[in-house]
């Protein structure tokens, strides 16, 4: 009986005939070069149906070549190899924006040497949803499927690996060891999506061991901080872009802004007649800016249009201490995780994972109205001789930890150096903690003295050097806040 040519042999013959390398075919098909190599070498003996379709399109296969590929892929007459279980949650809302991010992370996952990608960013920025969307877009690249594992409810690394084992094979959940899990996935071209790893720092080392033991396993993780293991590629997710400027005459252009598009889409969930108009355009843009384009905050605000007009909503979001913000952005959808049902709880989840020293610096940094330098943070938030009871902090070390935890952002400054800032919603939460701590009067006084000294040493702005004028301009918000506090204190 004539032996049928293997799928790998047919694929290689057609690829070579088309003049394509593994990398070129991977680029055309949106698959990984490793996936194609494994198919050709017979490590993956039969492709998933969607993988086969991508390859046929990428090869621009003739009818005859298509028939050859389909015949070689069949494990029995009339049947393509059954798809591995792809355990991704079905979404009930439309995915908005993030096209560039999907492309960038997908490009990372196509690289053979990239085995672990971690999506990082502040709470509510949309890491989980993006990870699932990326995985959904990359289904064809993993011939043995995709398994998503949520880790928010587990508290230890052992529990995390038990949950991973259960998702991979419920029968094997009793043995959640790395060795056993590695045996389950040893020969599988599989994507493992691990969601919410930030509270499980001890998962990092055994996860790295698992990746070393299972050469064809790829992990896409979400965490508010990187896992910090060898080979990890971090992708830091920023909030959605918000509208710039003050005139919004072009409603079509404004509607394409991701933050505005998300607000309008979610507002229509509670008010099907809600539309973006010339009358409400500026207000909706202002709401998105006030909320920093943070997806969770925008969604929670949009849900309030059932009871409040955009104008009323915007007015109530202007509270400088953030109390009205957190009051308005509460009571999210009941099927969301508890920490995502209010903006306050989302930030609290991150805050509670900090050390005591990190929490102290976090709340003290809320005094800055428009970003800050390391020098300013050290002068205002560290200890001073005249205040022996004020807890001393290693400001630089703790600041780096807050940056890693996605609670503080660093922005490069032209000519060198850095400035640091908080999202306004995060700053409002930190200000709450500062007031509760009883440290607010002393920190505000330090802040006022520091920035008044800058004004005094700069002298007359007209005669100051360009560097001094630039420094003063960057600190305008802090100078104004200092003056306001002094006036109120008197």
User: What's residue 461's pLDDT?
Assistant: 52
C-alpha span between 291 and 49 (Å, rounded): 43
Question: What's the whole-number mean pLDDT along residues 456-481?
Answer: 69
Instruction: Render pLDDT for 137-190 as a digit per residue (tens, 0 to 9).
Output: 888 788 888 999 999 889 999 899 988 888 887 766 666 788 888 888 888 888
Contact 426/122 with Cβ under 8 angstroms? Answer: yes
- Burial class of residue 153, CB neighbours in 10 A (0-12, 13-18, 19+): exposed
| Most distant pair of Cα atoms in the chain: their distance | 100
Q: What mean pLDDT, rounded, does the chain reach?
A: 83
User: What's residue 1's pLDDT?
Assistant: 37
C-alpha span between 204 and 357 (Å, rounded): 23
- pLDDT grade, residue 77 (50/70/90)? very low
User: What's residue 466's pLDDT?
Assistant: 61
Instruction: Render pLDDT for 319-337 as a digit per residue (tens, 0 to 9).
Output: 665 566 777 776 655 555 5
CA distances from 242 to 289, 324, 485 (A): 6, 21, 30
Question: What's the whole-number mean pLDDT along residues 273-278?
Answer: 92
Question: What's the whole-number mean pLDDT along residues 209-228?
Answer: 93
DSSP string, 381-398: HS--TT-TTSPP--HHHH
- Own/partner long-range contacts of 183-188 (Cβ < 8 Å, ≥24 apart): 185/144, 185/214, 185/216, 185/217, 186/213, 186/214, 186/215, 187/43, 187/216, 188/84, 188/144, 188/214, 188/216, 188/217
- pLDDT grade, residue 54 (50/70/90)? confident
Q: Give the residue from 307, 321, 311, 315 showing the smallest Cα distance to 270.
A: 307
pLDDT of 442 above 60? yes
User: What's residue 238's pLDDT?
Assistant: 94
C-alpha span between 422 and 426 (Å, rounded): 6
pLDDT of 135 above 60? yes
CA distances from 48 to 62, 74, 114, 145, 167 (A): 20, 10, 22, 8, 20
C-alpha span between 367 and 390 (Å, rounded): 16
By three-state DSSP, how is residue 154 classified?
A: coil
pLDDT of 460 above 60? no
């Amino acid at each position: 009986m004539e032996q049928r040519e293997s799928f790998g042999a047919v694929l290689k013959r057609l690829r070579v005939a088309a003049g394509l390398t593994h990398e070129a075919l991977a680029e055309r098909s949106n698959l990984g070069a490793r996936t194609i190599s494994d198919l050709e070498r017979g490590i993956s003996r039969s492709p998933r149906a969607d993988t086969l379709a991508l390859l046929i399109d990428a090869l621009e296969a003739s009818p005859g070549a298509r028939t050859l590929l389909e015949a070689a892929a069949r494990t029995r007459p009339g049947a393509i190899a059954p798809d591995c279980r792809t355990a991704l949650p079905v979404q009930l809302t439309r995915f908005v924006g993030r096209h560039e991010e999907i492309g960038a992370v997908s490009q990372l996952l196509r690289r053979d040497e990239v085995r672990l990608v971690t999506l990082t960013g502040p709470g509510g920025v949309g890491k989980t949803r993006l990870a699932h969307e990326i995985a959904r877009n990359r289904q064809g690249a993993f011939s043995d499927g995709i398994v998503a594992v949520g880790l928010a409810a587990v508290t230890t690394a052992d529990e995390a690996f038990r949950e991973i084992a259960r998702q991979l094979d419920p029968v094997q959940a009793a043995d959640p060891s790395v060795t056993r899990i590695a045996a389950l996935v040893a020969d599988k071209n599989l994507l493992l999506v691990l969601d919410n790893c930030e509270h499980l720092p001890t998962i990092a080392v055994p996860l790295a061991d698992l990746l070393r033991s299972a050469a064809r396993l790829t992990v896409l993780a979400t965490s508010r901080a990187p896992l910090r293991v060898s080979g990890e590629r971090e992708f830091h997710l920023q909030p959605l872009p918000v509208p710039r400027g003050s005139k919004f005459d072009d409603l079509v252009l404004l509607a394409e802004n991701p933050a505005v598009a998300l607000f309008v889409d979610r507002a229509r969930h509670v008010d099907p007649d809600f539309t973006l108009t010339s009358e409400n355009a500026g207000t909706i843009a202002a709401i998105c800016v006030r909320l920093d384009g943070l997806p969770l905050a925008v969604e929670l605000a949009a849900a309030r249009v059932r009871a409040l007009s955009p104008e009323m909503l915007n007015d109530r979001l202007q509270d400088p201490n953030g109390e009205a913000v957190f009051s308005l952005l509460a009571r999210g959808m009941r099927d969301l995780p508890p920490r995502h049902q209010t903006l306050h709880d989302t930030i609290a989840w991150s805050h509670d994972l900090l050390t005591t020293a990190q929490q102290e610096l976090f709340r003290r940094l809320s005094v800055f109205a428009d970003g800050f330098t390391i020098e300013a943070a050290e002068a205002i938030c560290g200890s001073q001789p005249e205040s022996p009871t004020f807890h001393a902090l290693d400001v630089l070390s703790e600041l780096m930890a807050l940056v890693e935890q996605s609670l503080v952002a660093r922005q490069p400054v032209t000519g060198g150096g850095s400035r640091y800032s908080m999202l306004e919603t995060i700053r409002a939460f930190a200000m709450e903690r500062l007031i509760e701590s009883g440290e607010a009067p002393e920190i505000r006084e330090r802040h006022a003295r520091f920035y008044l000294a800058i004004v005094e040493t700069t002298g007359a702005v007209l005669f100051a050097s360009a560097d001094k004028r630039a420094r003063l301009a960057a600190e305008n918000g802090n100078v104004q806040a200092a003056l306001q506090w002094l006036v109120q204190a008197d």
